[in-house]
Amino acid sequence: MNLSNTSLWIVRITLGVSFFLHGWGKFPYPPEGFASWLESIGVVAPMVTATAVALGEMAAGIGIIIGGFFKGGIGNSITRFSALGILIIMIGAFYLAHSDWFINEKLFKSEQIYIFVLSIFFLIIGNKSLK
């Protein structure tokens, strides 16, 4: 394994663990605190949405990591599908929770921008190696 591939694994594991922990932090099940916040901003079916987001974050985080263990189309699909899930959740987070962050200092001082950008990165490259 060359240094480029090692760096990809470092990024993959960091993104996967970070996103998994974002979901894990919304529990105990059901994530009532998160659901209450969603209800306060007018989200329809806040308990269902809160549970889906929390489970989606955990699954996408695991998927980013697991996808790297599979060669070919399966690993590529798992990685890209997980990255797409992260991207969609992050767009929702920016829209609902951080709409005041659009292109300003708060955005670029948060970890959310890196999660967002790394999801785009893995959506584009899938399981390709860097040479």
Q: Provide the sign of the torsion angle of the four alpha carbons 110, 112, 117, 121, taken in this order.
A: positive
pLDDT 10s digits, 2-50: 777 888 999 999 999 999 998 898 877 667 777 887 888 787 888 888 8
Which helix (H) or strand (E) is 23 found in, with range? helix 3-24
49, 100 contact by CB (below 8 A): no
Indicate the domain borders of the chain: 3-125
pLDDT 10s digits, 93-105: 877 766 665 666 6
Average pLDDT, the chain: 84
Q: Which two tokens stand for residue 45?
A: 């079916």
Quote the pTM value.
0.83
**CB < 8 Å & 24+ apart, contacts of 36-39:** 38/96
Q: How far apart are CA 16 and CA 62, in angstroms?
A: 6
pLDDT at 131 over 70: no
94, 100 contact by CB (below 8 A): no
Length in residues, the chain: 131
pLDDT at 62: 97
Say what percent of the chain tops pLDDT 70. 85
Using DSSP's 3-state secondary structure scheme, residue 92 falls into helix
Residue with tokens 């999801």: 119
